[in-house]
Amino acid sequence: MTEQSRQTLAEKFAAGRKLRKQTSRQSHKHIGNVDRDPIKLLESSSAGRVQRLVPLRYGRMLASPFAFYRGSAIIQAHDLASTPHTGLVQQICGDCHLMNFGGFATPERNLIFDINDFDETHPGPWEWDLKRLAASLTLAARHLDLPVSAADDVVFTAVQSYQRNMGDYAQMGALSLWYERITMESLISATQDKVAKQTLGKSIAKALSRTQGNLLPKMGDKIDGRWVMHDAARAVSCSWSQHSV
């Protein structure tokens, strides 16, 4: 058992307040070091990737500012690297934008809602994930031509929800946290908007229909009685088209 796990709830809150003195809420307004060359950063992030797919990636990023943001986690990481943080370093997602959340099935075949992309995961300050999510919500609102006030409201709601849930999780035991799940059914029951409920219902029905039998023809071709998987380029193109905004 670690020293941190033996702390009482009051001790944990006291430690958090101490860190707040070290890194105030006001300090989080800093956007960081924006004196950089985005092209060079993107080129460095493309090192080690399948080179014939890199142009496809850049082409997708040209679609909109939101699409560019989705493919440029390294730029925000560069900018935030010089900003104050609490020192609470975790194995963060690293690319915690809006479109990297969704529904997927657990090994028990239960449909849950969670983050579903970890190709940029890396140890880092926990604040970075929250900041990347908040920025993506603003960009998504602009992409949909929503008023500035609507963008502000959705960011405020997201951060407030994060704050509330983290407060609840702080009072839960390790085992309870391990089994904590956000089910799609709970999302529907908690949603007040009728249109949102209908959208969630359709998403669940679509997810449940995506069986192996339905997906196999999209991932391969049957040639001379044998299934042959599509090459990587076609697979990536299919993946992007399914997740594009």
* Segments of the chain scoring below 70 in pLDDT: 1-6, 210-214, 231-245
Q: What is the pLDDT of residue 211?
A: 65
Residues 84-94 have pLDDT tens digits of 998 899 999 99
Q: What is the pLDDT of residue 236?
A: 44
Residues 238, 211: Cα–Cα separation, whole Å: 17
Q: What is the pLDDT of residue 45?
A: 92
Residues 239, 81: Cα–Cα separation, whole Å: 30
Q: What ranges in 23-147 are assigned the alpha helix state H?
A: 38-45, 54-61, 65-70, 73-80, 126-143
Q: How many residues does the chain have?
A: 245
